[in-house]
Structures are given as C-alpha cells and as structure tokens.
Amino acid sequence: MDTLREVTASRYVAPLRTGGSVPGVVEADDLGTYVVKFTGSAQGRKALVAEIVVGELARHLGLRFPELVLVHFDPAVAADEPHQEVQDLLHASAGLNLGMDLLPGAADFTPEALDVDPLEAGKVVWLDALTANVDRTVHSSNLMVWPTFGTRPPKLWLIDHGAALVFHHRWGASAPDKVYDFRHHALGGYGPDTAAADAELAPLVTESVLRDIVSLVPEAWLADEPGFSSPAEVREAYVSFLLARARSSAVWLPRDFPSRGELAASDARRAAAMEAGRPAWLKRVPDLHGKPPAEQDWSRHIG
C-alpha cells in the first residue's frame, strides 16, 4: 500500500467549532483544501491514528471515504486567526498533522437526503462494529451526502472516525469479541443486511491488509505508548486486535435495529420527557447557541 501523500499548509482558512477537537479548513501547496485535525487537540494523537486506520480500512472495503493526507503545518500561516484558544491549539500542533479532503458542497446525511441500500447500510454498520466506532448514531451520523449538485447521483460518504478503536485507550481492557450496542446506528432504519456484509467483508480483513494500513501511521504518533517498547510493537497490537476481532464477527455482529418509526417515537418520548422536566422559566429562554451562518457552511463538511 502506498504511503499517505504529504502536503504543506499554505493558508489557514477557518476553524470548525462543531466538535471538541476544533479542526480547521486549510489550503495546501498542492492547491487542495482539507479539513485538518491537529495533534495538539484535546483528543490527542490517538484520534488521528483512528482516523487513518478506520478510514483506510473503509476504503479497502469499498466504502467511500475522502482522501487523507499528512499536512506539514507552520502556525505562521494562521497569524491572522483572532481567537487565542485556536492560536494555542495551532502552536501546539506545529509539524505533522492529518488532513481529509474537503468535499465541496457536501451536505450532512439525513433520512430525507438519500435512500441507502440495505447491503451498503450493513457494510457501514459492520465496519463500525469491527472498529468499535460508537460515534455514528441517529443523533450524530458522521456521514455526508456528496455530490449534492450536478449530473452525478449523490452518494454516501463516511467521515470522522477519531472516536473509533476505543480499545487503544486502555490496551488489554477490551476483548476482541466484545459486543457493542449499535441499535441506534445512523443507518439502523434502513434494515442493514449485516449478515451479507459480514460474508463479503470479513474475508477481506487479512493480516497483510492490516499491516499495510497500520504502516501508514507516522511513527511519532505511536511513540511512548505505555506498555510497549517501540512503535513497531504498537503496530503489531493494532494488527493482532483487529484481526482477532474480524475473525470473531459471529459473536459481535449487530442484528437487531429499531425501525425509523420506532426511533422517531423514542425521540419524541425523550424530547417530551426533557421538556416536562424543565422549569417554567427555562422554557421561555430563547436558543442563543445557534452557529453563525459562515460557520454553518463549513461545518457541513465534517462530523
């Protein structure tokens, strides 16, 4: 497998405040525009490792995922950024960071935006179950629809896998066959055919494929991992865990999903319960937390 392309940031366009990591839209010397996640963010380098491993695994399995690049970043290109907390993040992230190709005009996935085939839905659920990605729910899909204009039909694209691979935050605390609750997966309402997905995808997750994918992670992002003597040993741990998990899919394979109607009814009950529990004075307080229009435009490109 080829290494990730490396580019150099030439202009910092804007921060994205849709998540705690505060990624940024960055232009690079290859004339591309990327959503960059920074090594100095609160989530740390493990979120970037998860982005590479899960994103490239998705690509290998035939799912749509924007190109990843390694971004050399000099905080000087963002000298005009007015917010001090963003400046602090950027100065803590000098050097190599991770960029994801920006999909121009992409829109957040909604059930109204695209009808998803049960097999495609099953493949996305299967990938998320394999990689313990608990951050693709009906409330935060981390899915995009693109293109949204022109003659080409819109397609489903996966983004934002920084919360996956939960096992690498506490090595040894999770068994490879651990079962996670995916009943509220973003695509659960499409009748995901996870059995067909398992039959097709599980044989594709081989030791050699995993080694190739993990080799894409910069060595510095695997250094100083507690309990390991070297980055090479950490890479082996990722390969061993994911290979064992793929081989135990019969145990963790998600099968039961509520229908869209059941999800809507559940959401309505929860909203009603929350409203009933609010004091009367709070019910009259207007929502003051809407995003400014410019930030809404950029936020469509990342979960």
Per-residue pLDDT tens for 95-132? 999 999 999 999 999 988 899 999 999 999 999 999 99
pLDDT reading at 30 higher than 90: yes
**pLDDT band, very low/low/confident/very high, at 44 (cuts 50, 70, 90):** very high
Percent over 90 (pLDDT), the chain: 77
Between 153 and 235, the more confident residue is: 235
Measured from the Cβ of residue 13, the count of other Cβ atoms closer than 10 Å reads: 17
Question: In this structure, what are the phi and psi dihedrals at residue 69, rounded to the nearest 5 degrees?
Answer: -135, 155
> Where is average pLDDT lowest: 32-41, 100-109, 140-149, 254-263?
254-263
Give the pLDDT confidence score for residue 303 in this predicted structure. 39
> Across the chain, what does the average pLDDT equal?
90
Residue 293, H or E segment = helix 293-299
SS3 content of the chain, % helix, strand, coil (to 5): 40, 15, 45
The C-alpha atoms of residue 69 and residue 162 are separated, in whole angstroms, by: 15
Give the pLDDT confidence score for residue 281 in this predicted structure. 64
Give the pLDDT confidence score for residue 19 in this predicted structure. 65
Between 298 and 166, the more confident residue is: 166
The C-alpha atoms of residue 71 and residue 154 are separated, in whole angstroms, by: 28
Give the pLDDT confidence score for residue 41 in this predicted structure. 94
List, for residues 68-82, the tens digit of each pLDDT value. Answer: 999 999 999 999 999
Give the pLDDT confidence score for residue 294 in this predicted structure. 41
Both tokens of 271, joined, read: 């909203």
What is the per-residue burial (b if ≥16 Cβ within 10 Å, else e) of 58-73? Answer: bbbbebbbbebbbbeb
Give the pLDDT confidence score for residue 284 in this predicted structure. 62
Q: Cis (ω within 30 of 0) for the bond into 104?
A: no
Between 295 and 84, the more confident residue is: 84
Between 276 and 250, the more confident residue is: 250
- Supply the pTM of this predicted model: 0.87
The C-alpha atoms of residue 82 and residue 27 are separated, in whole angstroms, by: 18
Give the pLDDT confidence score for residue 134 in this predicted structure. 93
